[in-house]
Structure 1
């Protein structure tokens, strides 16, 4: 009987695991292999060059800039996004004041409307969001500088994407704006599953809203927060940062490589410069950074599971 059960499990998993190995694992293996060659990506002919690409990468100033920018994306964007989403979710679900004749625990007025507003950016593709903000950041006719002029701050007219000191922060703000709504809905669903009796008991014991959030809501949502942190970090290291930087910035990646991130640098080396082998080398470094980030978050975020 047991033999038949294991045979069924193996048979059930064989096809999905085979597809995963073919379309996910094998490309990674190929990338690592090509990183030891001089392949251009255009010609089928290439030679093994050993660690020459890795030595070149370690001496590449632009690579180190892109690595630094990617690490900023991975560290700051998830913290700001998840922190803001937790605050908004808490206010929507349990942060409101008690109204006459209403429940003791409730969200702020209009919480259902706020959920729709916060989730709206998820309806738009990241490419459309990037284009909209590229127009908004325009120093002459953009909405942001026009608003500053309208409120009497005409002397404060940043170049935004044209300023090497501001461009990276402006790009990160777009990613936060476009993704925070998803986590608001995700955390709201988690908070809605927490029994209201726990909040009422905490309030009766004299706990205020801040104490309730840190001692009750956050511990019970920690597994969701940790998963969201890893997911957001991977997005910031990969597709989200590439799309926003590629569409919004000059170069792209400018000015003066001030917004170049690793995934964009991989794209430029592979498809603009015809250096596919070197691009895969940077891709291997990006893979290691992503794995290290996920492992670090899982390690630091490990705590005893709470149940209710």
Structure 2
């Protein structure tokens, strides 16, 4: 769909908003969506309510967009110095900071209203934690070399929320799933940070890619192995069958492939490895879905 019929200034502003919210780059939405679906399907023993599937799909979409807006607001003075981000709307002046904050607030409010009107009290309480994490994560790279850990918590917070919405409880298995997803997120966002490492060192931005140094690929591998191990443990506790483990095996194979990509630490290869994670998450969900449907 094109919007060429719009006046040029309106089209330019709309394009800038789309780029700010990453509507043209769905990778982040997918990386949020798959673990959320894992939680919904596990909490409901394979039969989540259609209402919760719709609510959390829309919620993931809006909160990811909100996160991008506040992230670019936080990075507005440094994005122009990084090769990958120098053309972002705030860095180039096509959007002013107040617009980014406004979009963040509107998207967060819409997400919050969905929780208020269509879920339960426990999910509502948990949503405040998700809001705090979404707001503080973008600023962590100025104070700690572990911003990826905060992103992991932010990206994983939909898991206890989805579990609570479906089961009105957050069980030990939910927190195991949360832990697995935090580890996975730190692994793939370190791959992402490896793309910008040289630029980040110059401008003083911190990341796990810088912290890990020469041990980066090894630590990513350990995090990936722990992710698979915990997901296997969850499968055993939930008494899942062969199809789930086939999906989990596919994730493990993709992790090996990613290790090959990042072994020389080249920008393009590291970014390709990061993007490949959407298929890792999809593989686990496909195995979980098929196993619960056919079990």
Q: Same fold (TM over 0.5)?
A: no
Task: Looking at secondary structure, tell me which structure has more helix per residue.
Answer: 2
* Higher Cα radius of gyration: 1
Q: Taking structure 1 as the reference length, what is the TM-score of the superposition?
A: 0.29
Q: Taking structure 2 as the reference length, what is the TM-score of the superposition?
A: 0.30
